[in-house]
Copies of this chain bind each other. A is one copy, B any other.
Amino acid sequence: MKNFDFHAPTNILFGKNQLQQLPNVLEQYGKTVLLTYGGGSIKRSGLYDDIYQLVGNDAKIIELGGIEPNPRLSTVIKGVELCKENHVDVILSVGGGSTIDCSKAIAAGVFYDGNPWDFVVNDGIELTKALPIVTILTIAATGSEMNWGSVITNEETKEKLSFHTRLVTPKVSILDPTYTFSVPTYQTMAGSADIFSHLIENYFNQTTDTMVQDGIAEGLMRTVLHYTPTALTEPTNYEARANLMWASSLALNGLTGNGKTGVWSCHPMEHELSAYYDITHGIGLAILTPRWMEHVLNDDTVERFALYGHRVFDLELNEDLYITAKEAIQQTYDTFVKWGVPMTLPEVGIDASLLKEMAEQAVKHSSISKNAYVPLSADDVLAIYTHSLTPMTF
């Protein structure tokens, strides 16, 4: 196990009606609130009105609505300006990963002297201060509600990159599973694919003496597999929505990744797809993951893939580990198919024309060619992209 610094200080208020605690929560941070949200689903669901009813009298609320999926630098800059003009004390971020990620960049951008893109493109440069963030989560997916990362897209340069600073870890996140009852089928499956991918990315790692982290990941993967079909067919099933919601936060708050080494594989490849084509992140991950698995299966990795099949899909460990490993990869693919995920690139509007360029960018924007579980060259990435053009056969 590698040395690590684990810090997930977000206070999670989980369950029905936890919104009632919002006035007490916000009061700790100040009276002027930047309310950030996305496309307006919170208005249709009534959550927007509930927020105003609870805190509208006591707080001055400034709004930044319309935050797009794959949140853009221009929106971040707009948010920073709003905060500075209005002397905002706290950001109340209501939505999913995109809204929260955008809010994180705004929170840090307010105290940064320069273009916020600087600290995204130079991840790790020292930031000294950020506005406190409180979130109300409305979709189980990215885990941004309980971690210190944020992914921002520069629409001009077509770059989608992440930055990290402990300063932007949300102070409090309200997780009421009923807010995810209205998440549409497509977003529900994309969210589950995203959670699953975070677990996969951490699970397949060169550091293997991490039974604690891996045991947690296995449990969370089983949870996602068990409850996603229920959430898709019975969107208001509380048990399913609750387990998926809590799994999303725990999949990416350090528990499954701390103590490991290297970098992720599928996320850097996917980030190019959604930077170029603005596709839904989780769907891109679902498409790439089983092709990546097939591509990196070899004598060094077969044991881990077999263990994955055993622990996550309850497969018997065959003496020939390749049999169990290949069955596990097929079951991964079949799972996404059964959920209803469009499992080829053409189905999400991506053809072969830019694959080579994106493959080169994936290698350029990350260190997957050196530090991934199995290092991936631009040619490897291109092969994985190319295999994603057509359905897999087993």
CB distance from A200 to the nearest CB of B (A): 15
Which B residue sits closest to A177, measured CB to CB? B1
A246 within 8 A of B: yes
Choose one: B209, B218, B227, B239; the contact of A242 (CB below 8 Å). B209
- Chain A 187-217, CB-CB to B under 8 Å as 1, else 0, gives 0000000000000000000000111101111
Which residues of the partner chain B approach A287 to less than 8 Å between Cβ atoms? none
Count class of interface residues, chain A: 35 or more
CB distance from A288 to the nearest CB of B (A): 25
Bound complex: CA of A215 vs CA of B218, how far in Å? 7
A14 within 8 A of B: yes
Which residues of the partner chain B approach A210 to less than 8 Å between Cβ atoms? 243
Q: Is the CB of B211 within 8 A of A223?
A: yes
Q: Is the CB of B209 within 8 A of A243?
A: yes
Q: Is the CB of A219 within 8 A of B226?
A: no
Choose one: B11, B15, B214; the contact of A3 (CB below 8 Å). B15
Total copies of the chain: 2
Q: Is the CB of B2 within 8 A of A11?
A: no
Which residues of the partner chain B approach A215 to less than 8 Å between Cβ atoms? 216, 218-220, 222-223
A229 within 8 A of B: no
Choose one: B4, B219, B226; the contact of A15 (CB below 8 Å). B4
Q: Is the CB of B9 within 8 A of A14?
A: no
Bound complex: CA of A271 vs CA of B211, how far in Å? 31
Interface residues of A (CB under 8 A from B): 1-9, 11-18, 177, 209-212, 214-220, 222-223, 226-227, 238-239, 242-243, 246-247, 250, 255, 258-259
Not counting A3-B16, A3-B17, A212-B247, a sample of 20 additional A-B residue pairs whose C-beta atoms are within 8 angstroms of each other reads A1-B239, A3-B14, A3-B18, A4-B15, A5-B13, A9-B9, A15-B259, A209-B242, A211-B226, A211-B227, A212-B220, A212-B243, A214-B219, A215-B220, A215-B222, A216-B219, A216-B220, A217-B219, A246-B259, A250-B255
In the A-B complex, the 9 residue pairs with the closest CB atoms: A215-B219, A3-B15, A9-B9, A6-B12, A209-B239, A1-B242, A7-B11, A211-B223, A212-B246
